[in-house]
Structure 1
Amino acid sequence: MKHVSILVPLGHTSMPNIDGSHQILSQVNDLLAMHGRGPLFDIQLVGLTKPTVQRNGRFTIEPDVLIGDVAKTDLVIIPAMHGDIMAAVAQNEDFAPWLIKQYEQGAELASLCVGAFLLATTGLLDGKQAATHWVMADAFKQAFPKVDLVDDKIMTEEDGLYTSGGAYSYLNLLVYLVEKHAGRELAIMISKTFMIDIDRISQSPFIIFQGQKAHDDEPVKKAQEYIESNFADKITVDQLADMLALGRRSLERRFKSATKNTVSEYIQRVKIEAAKKSFENSRKNINEVMYDVGYSDTKAFRTIFKKITGLSPIDYRNKYRKDMAA
Structure 2
Amino acid sequence: MTTKLAIFAYDGCLSTSVTGPTDVFHIANIHQRVRKEDPGSPLFSWKIYSPDGKPVNTSTGITIAVDGRYEQAGNPDICLIPGIDHAFGYEVTQKTEEMRGLLGKLIKTHHANGAAIASNCSGSFLLADTGLLDGFEATTSWWLAHHFTHSFPKVHLRLEKMVTEDNNVFCSGAVTAYMHLCIRLIEKFAGPNIAKCCAKTVMLQNKECTQAPYIPVPHHFKQQDELVKNAVSWMLENLDQEFHLDSLASQLAVSPRTFIRRFNQATGKPPKQYFQKLRIDEAKRLLESTALSVDDITEKVGYVDVSSFRRLFKREVALSPTEYRKRFAR
* TM-score of the superposed pair, with normalisation by structure 2: 0.90
The answer as to whether partners of 2:138 and 2:157 remain within 8 angstroms in 1 is yes
Partner of residue 129 from structure 2, selected from 118, 121, 125: 121
Q: Distance in 2 between matches of 1:59 and 1:49?
A: 18
Q: Distance in 1 between matches of 2:293 and 2:325?
A: 9
The answer as to whether partners of 2:162 and 2:209 remain within 8 angstroms in 1 is yes
Partner of residue 79 from structure 1, selected from 79, 82, 101: 82
Q: Distance in 1 between matches of 2:145 and 2:286?
A: 24
How many residue pairs align between the two structures? 321
Q: Distance in 1 between matches of 2:305 and 2:120?
A: 39
Partner of residue 265 from structure 2, selected from 249, 257, 264: 257
How far did residue 271 of structure 1 move?
0.3
Q: Distance in 2 between matches of 1:67 and 1:260?
A: 39
How far did residue 65 of structure 1 move?
2.0
Match of 2:51 in 1: 48
> Map of 1:1-326 to 2, 5 A cutoff?
1-10=2-11, 12-34=12-34, 35=36, 36-37=38-39, 38-54=41-57, 58-83=61-86, 84-93=91-100, 94-213=102-221, 215-321=223-329
The answer as to whether partners of 2:223 and 2:265 remain within 8 angstroms in 1 is no
Q: Distance in 2 between matches of 1:285 and 1:274?
A: 14
How far did residue 53 of structure 1 move?
4.0
Aligned amino acid, residue 69 of structure 1: Q
The answer as to whether partners of 2:162 and 2:180 remain within 8 angstroms in 1 is yes
The answer as to whether partners of 1:172 and 1:200 remain within 8 angstroms in 2 is no
Instruction: Pick closer, same or farther for the CA change 1:105–1:65 going to 2, 3 Å.
Output: same
Instruction: Pick closer, same or farther for the CA change 1:71–1:50 going to 2, 3 Å.
Output: closer
Q: Distance in 1 between matches of 2:24 and 2:142?
A: 24
Structure 2 residue ranges without an equivalent (≥5): none
Q: Distance in 1 between matches of 2:33 and 2:319?
A: 40
The answer as to whether partners of 2:162 and 2:177 remain within 8 angstroms in 1 is yes
How far did residue 100 of structure 1 move?
0.9
The answer as to whether partners of 2:15 and 2:59 remain within 8 angstroms in 1 is no
Give aligned-pair identity as a percent: 29
Instruction: Pick closer, same or farther for the CA change 1:310–1:289 going to 2, 3 Å.
Output: same
Give the stretch that moved more between structures: 229-238 or 265-274: 229-238
Aligned amino acid, residue 94 of structure 2: A
Instruction: Pick closer, same or farther for the CA change 1:179–1:155 going to 2, 3 Å.
Output: same
The answer as to whether partners of 2:14 and 2:58 remain within 8 angstroms in 1 is no
The answer as to whether partners of 2:105 and 2:130 remain within 8 angstroms in 1 is yes
How far did residue 136 of structure 1 move?
1.1
Instruction: Pick closer, same or farther for the CA change 1:56–1:212 going to 2, 3 Å.
Output: closer
Over the aligned positions, Cα root-mean-square deviation in angstroms equals 2.0
Give the stretch that moved more between structures: 170-179 or 70-79: 70-79
How far did residue 182 of structure 1 move?
1.0
The answer as to whether partners of 1:76 and 1:108 remain within 8 angstroms in 2 is yes
